[in-house]
Amino acid sequence: MTRRVFFSFHYDADSWRAAQVRKMGMVDGNAPVSDNAWETVKRGGKPAIKQWIANQMRGRTCTVVLIGSNTAGRPWINHEIIESWNKGMGVVGIYIHGLKDQDERTASKGRNPFNGITVNVSGNGLSSIVKCYNPHGIDSQERYGWIRANLPRIVEEAVSIRKKM
């Protein structure tokens, strides 16, 4: 069964890398948004952004956070993670710093975006529940291949973990 997935990522820094993952076709991901469309959403302020995120998440069973160098701690990334968890969606992270961008460059590995996000009154951090994967490989092509080969399994595992909570 192909899962419907919401992809969360830092748009300005990682849209090129994220597009590589989304275009794999291994899961049914949300459609890429153009720069112009995203600028229009942002001009509507926080309410418009929240509504856009809610619309994008509708009908999804898992959120895949594509982790770049500066993903962790971004307010909208945190919002997407918390909303996903609160909606009962599976949540998982995949580091994408090793994929090349439009200028053929890779980046430094970012921090775990789930650190510091608590999910219940006992104070358990989401990083103790949600897995983050750092794709194997010595270059961008091998890391891309690792993500392509493992993405469906990773998504299913995230959904399974969430169902047990």
Q: Where are the domains of the chain?
A: 4-163
CA dist., res. 150 & res. 165, Å (int): 23
What pLDDT band is residue 157 in, cutting at 50, 70 and 90? very high
Distance of CA 134 to the CA centre of its chain: 13
Read off the pTM.
Answer: 0.93
Inform me whether the pLDDT recorded for 164 exceeds 80: yes
Beta-bridged to residue 29, according to DSSP, are 5
Identify the pLDDT of residue 124.
73
**What average pLDDT score do residues 20-38 get?**
74
How many CA atoms lie within 13 Å of 9's alpha carbon, on the beta-carbon side? Answer: 28
- The backbone torsions φ and ψ at residue 102, rounded to the nearest 5 degrees and listed phi first, read -65, -20
By DSSP bridging, strand 28-29 and strand 90-95 are unpaired
Is 4-163 a CATH 3.40.50.450 domain? Answer: yes
- Of 4, 8, 22, 1, the C-alpha closest to 59 is 4
Angle between helices 75-86 and 45-57 in degrees, nearest 10: 40
Identify the pLDDT of residue 87.
95
pLDDT digits (tens, 9 = 90+) for 88-113: 999 999 999 999 999 999 999 999 99
Most confidently predicted of 13-17, 43-47, 62-66: 62-66
Identify the pLDDT of residue 122.
61
Whole-number average pLDDT of the chain: 91
CA dist., res. 20 & res. 118, Å (int): 30
At a CB cut-off of 8 Å and minimum separation 6, what does 46 contact? Answer: none
Alpha helices, H only, the chain: 11-22, 35-43, 45-57, 75-86, 140-163
Inform me whether the pLDDT recorded for 121 exceeds 70: no
